[in-house]
Structure 1
Amino acid sequence: MVSTEQLINDCVLFQSVTPEEMDELLDQAETEDFPEGVRILDEGNSTRYLWIIQRGTCEVRKQLSNGDEQTLTELGPLSIFGEMSFFKPAPHSASVVATSDVSIVRIPWNNFDQLLKAGVSGAQKVVYNTVRIMSDRLRTMDKWSAEMVESCGTKTKNAEWHEFRSKLYSDWQF
Protein backbone atom coordinates (compact mmCIF):
# COMPACT_ATOMS: atom_id res chain seq x y z
CA MET A 1 0.00 0.00 0.00
CA VAL A 2 1.20 3.50 -0.80
CA SER A 3 1.88 5.72 2.21
CA THR A 4 0.68 9.29 2.59
CA GLU A 5 4.29 10.40 2.20
CA GLN A 6 4.58 8.51 -1.12
CA LEU A 7 1.33 10.10 -2.36
CA ILE A 8 2.73 13.55 -1.61
CA ASN A 9 6.22 12.88 -2.97
CA ASP A 10 5.51 10.67 -5.99
CA CYS A 11 1.96 11.33 -7.23
CA VAL A 12 1.77 14.31 -9.59
CA LEU A 13 -1.79 14.96 -8.42
CA PHE A 14 -0.52 15.89 -4.96
CA GLN A 15 2.58 17.85 -5.96
CA SER A 16 3.18 20.68 -3.46
CA VAL A 17 0.43 19.46 -1.11
CA THR A 18 1.58 19.61 2.52
CA PRO A 19 1.11 16.67 4.91
CA GLU A 20 -1.60 18.64 6.74
CA GLU A 21 -3.43 19.38 3.47
CA MET A 22 -3.10 15.73 2.48
CA ASP A 23 -4.71 14.64 5.74
CA GLU A 24 -7.60 17.00 5.03
CA LEU A 25 -8.03 15.57 1.53
CA LEU A 26 -7.78 11.96 2.71
CA ASP A 27 -10.41 12.64 5.39
CA GLN A 28 -12.83 13.16 2.47
CA ALA A 29 -11.65 10.11 0.52
CA GLU A 30 -12.83 6.51 0.34
CA THR A 31 -10.75 3.38 -0.19
CA GLU A 32 -11.77 0.22 -2.01
CA ASP A 33 -10.16 -2.97 -3.26
CA PHE A 34 -10.97 -4.58 -6.61
CA PRO A 35 -10.00 -8.09 -7.70
CA GLU A 36 -8.25 -8.73 -11.01
CA GLY A 37 -10.65 -8.58 -13.97
CA VAL A 38 -13.20 -6.23 -12.41
CA ARG A 39 -14.38 -3.25 -14.45
CA ILE A 40 -13.89 -0.29 -12.14
CA LEU A 41 -15.34 2.24 -14.61
CA ASP A 42 -17.54 1.50 -17.61
CA GLU A 43 -17.37 3.65 -20.72
CA GLY A 44 -20.65 5.51 -21.11
CA ASN A 45 -21.55 5.43 -17.40
CA SER A 46 -20.97 8.44 -15.22
CA THR A 47 -19.56 8.68 -11.71
CA ARG A 48 -17.93 11.68 -10.08
CA TYR A 49 -14.85 10.36 -8.36
CA LEU A 50 -11.19 11.14 -8.73
CA TRP A 51 -9.42 7.78 -8.52
CA ILE A 52 -5.83 7.17 -7.37
CA ILE A 53 -4.28 3.70 -7.63
CA GLN A 54 -2.46 2.74 -4.45
CA ARG A 55 -1.56 -0.83 -5.40
CA GLY A 56 -1.94 -2.89 -8.55
CA THR A 57 -2.46 -2.17 -12.23
CA CYS A 58 -5.37 -1.28 -14.51
CA GLU A 59 -5.93 -0.90 -18.23
CA VAL A 60 -7.81 1.97 -19.81
CA ARG A 61 -9.89 0.52 -22.65
CA LYS A 62 -11.88 2.22 -25.41
CA GLN A 63 -14.78 0.51 -27.16
CA LEU A 64 -14.36 0.30 -30.94
CA SER A 65 -17.18 0.54 -33.46
CA ASN A 66 -17.01 -3.23 -34.08
CA GLY A 67 -17.63 -3.94 -30.37
CA ASP A 68 -14.02 -4.86 -29.53
CA GLU A 69 -12.02 -2.91 -26.97
CA GLN A 70 -8.67 -1.26 -27.59
CA THR A 71 -6.28 -0.86 -24.67
CA LEU A 72 -5.18 2.77 -24.56
CA THR A 73 -2.75 2.55 -21.66
CA GLU A 74 -1.82 0.70 -18.51
CA LEU A 75 -1.95 2.49 -15.17
CA GLY A 76 0.11 1.55 -12.13
CA PRO A 77 0.46 2.76 -8.56
CA LEU A 78 0.06 6.52 -8.10
CA SER A 79 -1.74 6.88 -11.44
CA ILE A 80 -5.03 8.75 -11.52
CA PHE A 81 -8.15 8.30 -13.62
CA GLY A 82 -11.71 9.60 -13.83
CA GLU A 83 -10.63 13.24 -13.83
CA MET A 84 -12.66 14.28 -16.88
CA SER A 85 -16.00 13.15 -15.42
CA PHE A 86 -14.94 14.34 -11.96
CA PHE A 87 -14.63 17.97 -12.98
CA LYS A 88 -17.34 18.04 -15.65
CA PRO A 89 -20.26 15.62 -15.37
CA ALA A 90 -20.26 13.47 -18.49
CA PRO A 91 -20.20 9.78 -19.40
CA HIS A 92 -16.81 8.12 -19.01
CA SER A 93 -14.86 8.22 -22.27
CA ALA A 94 -13.26 4.82 -21.61
CA SER A 95 -13.45 1.84 -19.27
CA VAL A 96 -10.91 1.02 -16.56
CA VAL A 97 -10.31 -2.66 -15.83
CA ALA A 98 -8.19 -4.11 -13.01
CA THR A 99 -5.40 -6.24 -14.50
CA SER A 100 -4.27 -7.32 -11.03
CA ASP A 101 -5.74 -6.98 -7.58
CA VAL A 102 -6.09 -3.21 -7.08
CA SER A 103 -6.41 -0.91 -4.08
CA ILE A 104 -7.62 2.57 -4.77
CA VAL A 105 -8.34 5.83 -3.01
CA ARG A 106 -11.16 7.84 -4.51
CA ILE A 107 -12.37 11.29 -3.72
CA PRO A 108 -16.11 11.91 -4.24
CA TRP A 109 -16.96 15.15 -6.06
CA ASN A 110 -19.41 16.37 -3.40
CA ASN A 111 -16.77 16.12 -0.68
CA PHE A 112 -14.12 17.73 -2.87
CA ASP A 113 -16.49 20.53 -3.91
CA GLN A 114 -17.09 21.36 -0.25
CA LEU A 115 -13.34 21.69 0.25
CA LEU A 116 -13.08 23.99 -2.78
CA LYS A 117 -15.95 26.18 -1.57
CA ALA A 118 -14.27 26.42 1.82
CA GLY A 119 -11.07 27.63 0.13
CA VAL A 120 -8.99 24.65 1.25
CA SER A 121 -5.58 25.14 -0.35
CA GLY A 122 -4.92 21.39 -0.75
CA ALA A 123 -8.03 21.06 -2.92
CA GLN A 124 -6.97 24.06 -4.99
CA LYS A 125 -3.55 22.47 -5.53
CA VAL A 126 -5.23 19.26 -6.72
CA VAL A 127 -7.22 21.25 -9.29
CA TYR A 128 -4.06 22.97 -10.52
CA ASN A 129 -2.18 19.66 -10.73
CA THR A 130 -5.09 18.02 -12.56
CA VAL A 131 -5.00 20.76 -15.17
CA ARG A 132 -1.29 20.07 -15.64
CA ILE A 133 -1.91 16.32 -15.99
CA MET A 134 -4.73 16.84 -18.48
CA SER A 135 -2.62 19.31 -20.46
CA ASP A 136 0.17 16.75 -20.74
CA ARG A 137 -2.31 14.09 -21.85
CA LEU A 138 -3.88 16.41 -24.42
CA ARG A 139 -0.45 17.39 -25.76
CA THR A 140 0.49 13.72 -26.13
CA MET A 141 -2.83 12.88 -27.82
CA ASP A 142 -2.52 15.85 -30.17
CA LYS A 143 0.98 14.80 -31.20
CA TRP A 144 -0.06 11.18 -31.65
CA SER A 145 -3.19 12.11 -33.65
CA ALA A 146 -1.25 14.43 -35.93
CA GLU A 147 1.39 11.75 -36.55
CA MET A 148 -1.32 9.19 -37.36
CA VAL A 149 -3.04 11.47 -39.84
CA GLU A 150 0.23 12.51 -41.44
CA SER A 151 1.49 8.94 -41.78
CA CYS A 152 -1.59 7.34 -43.28
CA GLY A 153 -3.66 10.18 -44.62
CA THR A 154 -4.12 11.81 -47.97
CA LYS A 155 -3.86 15.55 -48.51
CA THR A 156 -7.63 15.72 -48.05
CA LYS A 157 -7.45 13.85 -44.74
CA ASN A 158 -4.58 16.07 -43.59
CA ALA A 159 -6.58 19.18 -44.44
CA GLU A 160 -9.62 17.79 -42.59
CA TRP A 161 -7.45 17.05 -39.54
CA HIS A 162 -5.96 20.55 -39.47
CA GLU A 163 -9.43 22.11 -39.83
CA PHE A 164 -10.78 19.93 -36.98
CA ARG A 165 -7.80 20.78 -34.79
CA SER A 166 -8.20 24.48 -35.49
CA LYS A 167 -11.88 24.37 -34.52
CA LEU A 168 -11.12 22.37 -31.42
CA TYR A 169 -8.75 25.01 -30.15
CA SER A 170 -10.53 28.16 -31.26
CA ASP A 171 -14.17 27.82 -32.31
CA TRP A 172 -15.89 25.33 -30.05
CA GLN A 173 -17.77 26.45 -26.97
CA PHE A 174 -17.67 24.07 -24.02
Structure 2
Amino acid sequence: MVSTEQLINDCVLFQSVSPDEMDELLSHAETEDFPAGARILDEGNSTRYLWIIQSGNCEVRKQLSNGDEQTLTQLGPLSIFGEMSFFKPAPHSASVVAISNVSIVRIPWQNFDQLLKQGVSGAHKVVYNTVRIMSDRLRTMDQWSAEMVESCGSRNKNAEWHEFRSKLYSDWQF
Protein backbone atom coordinates (compact mmCIF):
# COMPACT_ATOMS: atom_id res chain seq x y z
CA MET A 1 0.00 0.00 0.00
CA VAL A 2 1.34 3.42 -0.93
CA SER A 3 1.67 6.04 1.75
CA THR A 4 0.46 9.63 1.53
CA GLU A 5 4.10 10.68 1.22
CA GLN A 6 4.56 8.34 -1.77
CA LEU A 7 1.40 9.73 -3.40
CA ILE A 8 2.80 13.25 -3.09
CA ASN A 9 6.34 12.35 -4.17
CA ASP A 10 5.74 9.73 -6.85
CA CYS A 11 2.26 10.16 -8.33
CA VAL A 12 2.23 12.64 -11.24
CA LEU A 13 -1.34 13.59 -10.33
CA PHE A 14 -0.16 15.12 -7.05
CA GLN A 15 3.01 16.87 -8.20
CA SER A 16 3.49 20.13 -6.28
CA VAL A 17 0.64 19.31 -3.86
CA SER A 18 1.70 20.08 -0.29
CA PRO A 19 1.12 17.61 2.57
CA ASP A 20 -1.66 19.84 3.96
CA GLU A 21 -3.33 20.08 0.55
CA MET A 22 -3.03 16.32 0.19
CA ASP A 23 -4.69 15.76 3.57
CA GLU A 24 -7.58 17.97 2.45
CA LEU A 25 -7.93 16.12 -0.86
CA LEU A 26 -7.81 12.72 0.83
CA SER A 27 -10.41 13.77 3.39
CA HIS A 28 -12.84 13.93 0.44
CA ALA A 29 -11.71 10.64 -1.08
CA GLU A 30 -12.90 7.07 -0.72
CA THR A 31 -10.92 3.83 -0.64
CA GLU A 32 -11.93 0.45 -1.96
CA ASP A 33 -10.35 -2.95 -2.50
CA PHE A 34 -11.01 -5.19 -5.51
CA PRO A 35 -10.10 -8.87 -5.90
CA ALA A 36 -8.22 -10.13 -8.94
CA GLY A 37 -10.61 -10.40 -11.87
CA ALA A 38 -12.99 -7.68 -10.65
CA ARG A 39 -14.22 -5.16 -13.19
CA ILE A 40 -13.60 -1.74 -11.69
CA LEU A 41 -14.96 0.27 -14.64
CA ASP A 42 -17.04 -0.98 -17.53
CA GLU A 43 -16.77 0.57 -20.97
CA GLY A 44 -20.02 2.34 -21.82
CA ASN A 45 -21.02 2.97 -18.20
CA SER A 46 -20.50 6.36 -16.64
CA THR A 47 -19.18 7.16 -13.19
CA ARG A 48 -17.49 10.36 -12.10
CA TYR A 49 -14.51 9.32 -10.03
CA LEU A 50 -10.82 9.98 -10.38
CA TRP A 51 -9.15 6.67 -9.53
CA ILE A 52 -5.62 6.23 -8.13
CA ILE A 53 -4.14 2.74 -7.70
CA GLN A 54 -2.51 2.33 -4.29
CA SER A 55 -1.48 -1.29 -4.74
CA GLY A 56 -1.96 -4.01 -7.30
CA ASN A 57 -2.24 -4.01 -11.07
CA CYS A 58 -5.04 -3.45 -13.57
CA GLU A 59 -5.56 -3.81 -17.29
CA VAL A 60 -7.28 -1.23 -19.46
CA ARG A 61 -9.39 -3.09 -22.02
CA LYS A 62 -11.25 -1.91 -25.11
CA GLN A 63 -14.23 -3.81 -26.53
CA LEU A 64 -13.76 -4.90 -30.15
CA SER A 65 -16.55 -5.10 -32.72
CA ASN A 66 -16.56 -8.92 -32.46
CA GLY A 67 -17.24 -8.75 -28.70
CA ASP A 68 -13.71 -9.63 -27.60
CA GLU A 69 -11.65 -7.26 -25.48
CA GLN A 70 -8.21 -5.93 -26.42
CA THR A 71 -5.82 -5.01 -23.62
CA LEU A 72 -4.56 -1.49 -24.24
CA THR A 73 -2.19 -1.20 -21.28
CA GLN A 74 -1.45 -2.30 -17.74
CA LEU A 75 -1.57 0.09 -14.81
CA GLY A 76 0.31 -0.33 -11.55
CA PRO A 77 0.57 1.53 -8.25
CA LEU A 78 0.33 5.34 -8.49
CA SER A 79 -1.39 5.14 -11.91
CA ILE A 80 -4.62 7.04 -12.45
CA PHE A 81 -7.65 6.31 -14.59
CA GLY A 82 -11.18 7.57 -15.15
CA GLU A 83 -10.04 11.14 -15.77
CA MET A 84 -11.99 11.64 -19.00
CA SER A 85 -15.39 10.84 -17.49
CA PHE A 86 -14.39 12.61 -14.27
CA PHE A 87 -14.01 16.00 -15.92
CA LYS A 88 -16.62 15.57 -18.67
CA PRO A 89 -19.60 13.32 -18.04
CA ALA A 90 -19.56 10.64 -20.71
CA PRO A 91 -19.51 6.86 -20.92
CA HIS A 92 -16.16 5.26 -20.13
CA SER A 93 -14.10 4.70 -23.27
CA ALA A 94 -12.59 1.47 -21.92
CA SER A 95 -12.94 -1.01 -19.07
CA VAL A 96 -10.51 -1.39 -16.18
CA VAL A 97 -10.07 -4.87 -14.72
CA ALA A 98 -8.03 -5.88 -11.66
CA ILE A 99 -5.40 -8.48 -12.61
CA SER A 100 -4.28 -8.82 -8.99
CA ASN A 101 -5.81 -7.72 -5.71
CA VAL A 102 -6.10 -3.95 -6.03
CA SER A 103 -6.51 -1.14 -3.51
CA ILE A 104 -7.62 2.19 -4.86
CA VAL A 105 -8.31 5.72 -3.71
CA ARG A 106 -11.03 7.48 -5.64
CA ILE A 107 -12.20 11.04 -5.53
CA PRO A 108 -15.89 11.59 -6.31
CA TRP A 109 -16.62 14.47 -8.70
CA GLN A 110 -19.14 16.11 -6.35
CA ASN A 111 -16.56 16.35 -3.57
CA PHE A 112 -13.85 17.56 -5.93
CA ASP A 113 -16.16 20.14 -7.51
CA GLN A 114 -16.84 21.58 -4.05
CA LEU A 115 -13.11 21.92 -3.45
CA LEU A 116 -12.72 23.74 -6.77
CA LYS A 117 -15.60 26.09 -5.94
CA GLN A 118 -13.98 26.81 -2.57
CA GLY A 119 -10.73 27.69 -4.35
CA VAL A 120 -8.72 24.91 -2.72
CA SER A 121 -5.29 25.13 -4.34
CA GLY A 122 -4.62 21.40 -4.10
CA ALA A 123 -7.67 20.73 -6.27
CA HIS A 124 -6.47 23.25 -8.86
CA LYS A 125 -3.06 21.55 -8.91
CA VAL A 126 -4.74 18.19 -9.56
CA VAL A 127 -6.61 19.71 -12.54
CA TYR A 128 -3.35 21.10 -13.93
CA ASN A 129 -1.55 17.79 -13.44
CA THR A 130 -4.43 15.89 -15.06
CA VAL A 131 -4.16 18.10 -18.14
CA ARG A 132 -0.45 17.24 -18.30
CA ILE A 133 -1.18 13.50 -17.99
CA MET A 134 -3.88 13.64 -20.66
CA SER A 135 -1.61 15.63 -22.97
CA ASP A 136 1.09 12.99 -22.64
CA ARG A 137 -1.43 10.23 -23.36
CA LEU A 138 -2.81 12.09 -26.38
CA ARG A 139 0.70 12.67 -27.72
CA THR A 140 1.49 8.96 -27.37
CA MET A 141 -1.79 7.98 -29.03
CA ASP A 142 -1.18 10.45 -31.85
CA GLN A 143 2.28 9.01 -32.48
CA TRP A 144 1.01 5.43 -32.34
CA SER A 145 -1.90 6.19 -34.69
CA ALA A 146 0.36 7.96 -37.18
CA GLU A 147 2.80 5.05 -37.19
CA MET A 148 -0.03 2.57 -37.68
CA VAL A 149 -1.50 4.50 -40.63
CA GLU A 150 1.94 4.98 -42.17
CA SER A 151 2.65 1.25 -41.90
CA CYS A 152 -0.50 0.41 -43.88
CA GLY A 153 1.23 1.80 -46.94
CA SER A 154 -2.06 2.92 -48.43
CA ARG A 155 -2.00 6.41 -49.86
CA ASN A 156 -5.76 6.67 -49.31
CA LYS A 157 -5.50 5.77 -45.59
CA ASN A 158 -2.61 8.18 -45.19
CA ALA A 159 -4.66 11.02 -46.70
CA GLU A 160 -7.65 10.15 -44.46
CA TRP A 161 -5.39 10.23 -41.40
CA HIS A 162 -3.95 13.64 -42.26
CA GLU A 163 -7.44 15.03 -42.90
CA PHE A 164 -8.64 13.68 -39.54
CA ARG A 165 -5.66 15.19 -37.70
CA SER A 166 -6.23 18.51 -39.41
CA LYS A 167 -9.86 18.58 -38.23
CA LEU A 168 -8.95 17.38 -34.77
CA TYR A 169 -6.41 20.10 -34.19
CA SER A 170 -8.16 22.98 -35.91
CA ASP A 171 -11.93 23.30 -36.12
CA TRP A 172 -13.14 20.26 -34.14
CA GLN A 173 -16.05 19.91 -36.60
CA PHE A 174 -16.80 16.30 -37.56
TM-score range, shorter chain: over 0.9
Q: Shift of residue 153 of structure 1?
A: 3.6
**Matches of 2:101 and 2:128, distance apart in 1:** 30
Q: What is the TM-score with the length of structure 2 in the denominator?
A: 0.99
**Matches of 1:166 and 1:118, distance apart in 2:** 39
Q: Does 1:152 align with 2:152?
A: yes
Give the equivalent residue in structure 2 for 1:125: 125
Q: What stretches of structure 1 of length at least 5 have no aligned partner?
A: none
Q: Does 1:49 align with 2:49?
A: yes
Moved more, 164-173 or 45-54: 164-173
Q: Shift of residue 152 of structure 1?
A: 1.1
Q: What stretches of structure 2 of length at least 5 have no aligned partner?
A: none
Deviations 1:21-40 (Å, cap 9, x if unpaired)? Answer: 00000000000000000000
Q: Shift of residue 173 of structure 1?
A: 5.6
SS at match of 1:51: strand
Question: Which residue identity is paired with 1:89?
Answer: P
Q: Shift of residue 81 of structure 1?
A: 0.1
Give the equivalent residue in structure 1 for 2:112: 112
Q: What is the TM-score with the length of structure 1 in the denominator?
A: 0.99
Give the equivalent residue in structure 1 for 2:89: 89
**Matches of 2:173 and 2:29, distance apart in 1:** 33
Give the equivalent residue in structure 2 for 1:77: 77
Name the count of aligned residue pairs.
Answer: 174
SS at match of 2:71: strand
Give the equivalent residue in structure 1 for 2:8: 8
Q: Shift of residue 171 of structure 1?
A: 1.3
Q: Does 1:62 align with 2:59?
A: no
SS at match of 1:91: coil
**Matches of 2:153 and 2:123, distance apart in 1:** 43
**Which 4+ residue blocks in structure 1 deviate beyond 4 angstroms?**
none
